[in-house]
């Protein structure tokens, strides 16, 4: 009986985590460059049930079968699918349009990544699609990554992110624009031109993260590498990436699907709650009524 109580309680905690994940997505529907998060649930390992001595002719006893003893929220996975582009007309707003592919060395063809940006081969190995990010530097001098291209120019000419981080070029240096370069334009490869259309020798630093599942959210649309030695490189002309000036990338949250997930989590939570209440009433009868007989 108590096993069923614990199973229902674990289900309630899992659905609570699922609910929190969906509400976080809904709260960031209008956040520039926000990437939705999915909560992954997994059941506890199966337990083999056997009856010792149930079969006198067998020393090992009789096997009754297997059952699971609950579920838990294993992890939260970010979805890096691109959000819709929204035109702003501001020269300091940028959106990254990218679709980086990876070739299968055995066949020479690109891996068919799914909607979440991953592919599982015949051996069970998971391969992730590389993702591109604007490269910024925080106040501590640490490199961070973001899809929020809503930038601004400081009075000194430094290109800053929405939360005040320095935007880096493809030489890993902060971008500073002075003189005629303050009235700049940016081509699709990220090269910055001055007011006369002359090149400034500065290119936006678009980092390609080979294993985006290793990124950790820091809030405000900023990510950091879980492994400081993780593989990253700057985008080049040969990569399938385009910079759009005067645009920003909207959140990739699907509001309709989010409301479906929210309702499903609520219904599952209520179901487990009723089971807990049922076990509570059953235990009450066993202790306070049957015990007096």
Structural domain contains residue 53: yes
pLDDT band at 219 (very low <50, low <70, confident <90, very high): confident
Tell whether 240 and 180 lie within a shared domain.
Answer: yes
Half-sphere exposure of 159 (CA within 13 A, CB side): 28
Question: Would you give the DSSP letter of residue 227?
Answer: S
List all residues 6 or more positions away from 185 whose beta carbon is below 8 Å from its beta carbon.
91, 192, 193, 197, 245
Residue pair 71/61 in contact (Cβ under 8 Å)? The answer is no
Tell whether 143 and 224 lie within a shared domain.
Answer: yes
**pTM of the predicted protein model:** 0.81
> Which tokens is 147 given?
């899809």
Tell whether 97 and 201 lie within a shared domain.
Answer: yes
Please state, in angstroms and as integers, the Cα–Cα distance from residue 65 to each residue in 47, 49, 51, 62, 222, following that order: 8, 5, 10, 9, 48
Domain containing residue 36: 2-78+253-292
Q: What is the mean pLDDT of residues 253-261?
A: 94
What total of structural domains would you count in the chain?
2
Percent of the chain with pLDDT over 70: 92
Write the pLDDT tens digit of every residue in 54-104.
555 555 556 667 777 788 787 788 888 889 999 999 999 999 998 788 888
Tell whether 151 and 231 lie within a shared domain.
Answer: yes
List all residues 6 or more positions away from 2 whose beta carbon is below 8 Å from its beta carbon.
279
More confident residue, 165 or 118: 165
Structural domain contains residue 51: yes
Phi and psi (nearest 5°) for 91?
Answer: -70, -20
Structural domain contains residue 106: no
Q: Is the pLDDT of residue 292 over 70?
A: no
Q: In what order do the strands lie in the sheet with 199-203?
A: 185-186, 191-193, 199-203
Tell whether 134 and 235 lie within a shared domain.
Answer: yes
Identify the pLDDT of residue 151: 96
Tell whether 138 and 158 lie within a shared domain.
Answer: yes
Identify the pLDDT of residue 116: 74
Structural domain contains residue 111: no
Tokens 């076990």 appear where?
A: 279
Structural domain contains residue 180: yes
Q: What is the mean pLDDT of residues 191-217?
A: 91
Structural domain contains residue 189: yes
Tell whether 93 and 236 lie within a shared domain.
Answer: yes
DSSP character string of 90-152: -TTBEEEEE----B-TTTSSBP---TTSEEE-TT--EEE--EEEEEEE-TTS-EEEES--B-E
Identify the pLDDT of residue 243: 95
Tell whether 71 and 145 lie within a shared domain.
Answer: no
Tell whether 95 and 208 lie within a shared domain.
Answer: yes
- Comparing C-alpha atoms, which of 147, 161, 143, 126 is closest to residue 40? 126
More confident residue, 72 or 50: 72
Alpha-carbon radius of gyration of the chain: 27
Angstrom distance (rounded) from CA 47 to CA 211? 35
Give the strand pairing for 62-67 and 199-203: unpaired
Q: Is the pLDDT of residue 173 over 90?
A: yes
Tell whether 223 and 273 lie within a shared domain.
Answer: no
Residue pair 32/221 in contact (Cβ under 8 Å)? The answer is yes
Structural domain contains residue 142: yes
Q: What is the mean pLDDT of residues 47-52?
A: 67
Tell whether 33 and 140 lie within a shared domain.
Answer: no
Tell whether 170 and 228 lie within a shared domain.
Answer: yes
Q: What is the mean pLDDT of residues 108-135?
A: 86
Angstrom distance (rounded) from CA 118 to CA 137? 28
Structural domain contains residue 237: yes
- Kindly tell me the sign of the dihedral angle through the C-alpha atoms of 281, 284, 290, 292: negative
Q: Is the pLDDT of residue 135 over 80?
A: yes
Q: Is the pLDDT of residue 176 over 80?
A: yes
Q: What is the mean pLDDT of residues 142-161?
A: 94
User: What mean pLDDT, rounded, does the chain reach?
Assistant: 87
Residue pair 214/227 in contact (Cβ under 8 Å)? The answer is yes
């Amino acid at each position: 009986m108590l096993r069923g109580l614990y199973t229902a309680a674990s289900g309630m905690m899992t659905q609570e985590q699922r609910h929190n994940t969906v509400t976080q997505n809904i709260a960031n529907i209008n956040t520039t460059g926000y990437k939705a998060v999915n909560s992954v649930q997994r059941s506890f390992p199966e337990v083999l049930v056997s009856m010792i001595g149930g079969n006198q002719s067998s020393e090992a006893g009789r096997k009754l079968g297997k059952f699971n003893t609950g579920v838990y929220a294993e992890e939260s996975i970010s979805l890096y699918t691109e959000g819709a582009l929204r035109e702003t007309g501001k020269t300091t707003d940028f959106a990254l349009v990218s679709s980086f592919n990876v070739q299968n060395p055995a066949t020479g063809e690109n891996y068919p990544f799914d909607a979440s940006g991953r592919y599982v081969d015949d051996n069970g190995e998971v391969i992730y699609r590389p993702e591109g990010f604007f490269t910024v530097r925080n106040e501590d001098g640490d490199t961070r990554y973001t899809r929020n291209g809503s930038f601004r120019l400081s009075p000194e000419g430094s290109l800053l992110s929405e939360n005040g981080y320095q935007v880096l070029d493809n030489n890993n240096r902060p971008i500073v624009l002075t003189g005629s370069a303050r009235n700049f334009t940016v081509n699709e490869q990220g090269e910055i031109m001055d007011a006369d259309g002359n090149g400034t020798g500065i290119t936006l630093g678009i980092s390609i993260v080979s294993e985006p599942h290793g990124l950790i959210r820091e809030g405000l649309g900023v990510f950091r590498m879980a492994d400081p030695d993780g593989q990253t490189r700057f985008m080049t002309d040969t990569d399938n990436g385009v910079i759009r000036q005067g645009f920003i990338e909207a959140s990739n949250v699907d509001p309709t699907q989010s409301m479906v997930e929210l309702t499903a989590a609520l219904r599952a939570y209520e179901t487990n709650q009723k089971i807990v209440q049922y076990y509570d009433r059953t235990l009450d009868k066993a202790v306070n009524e049957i015990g007096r007989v």
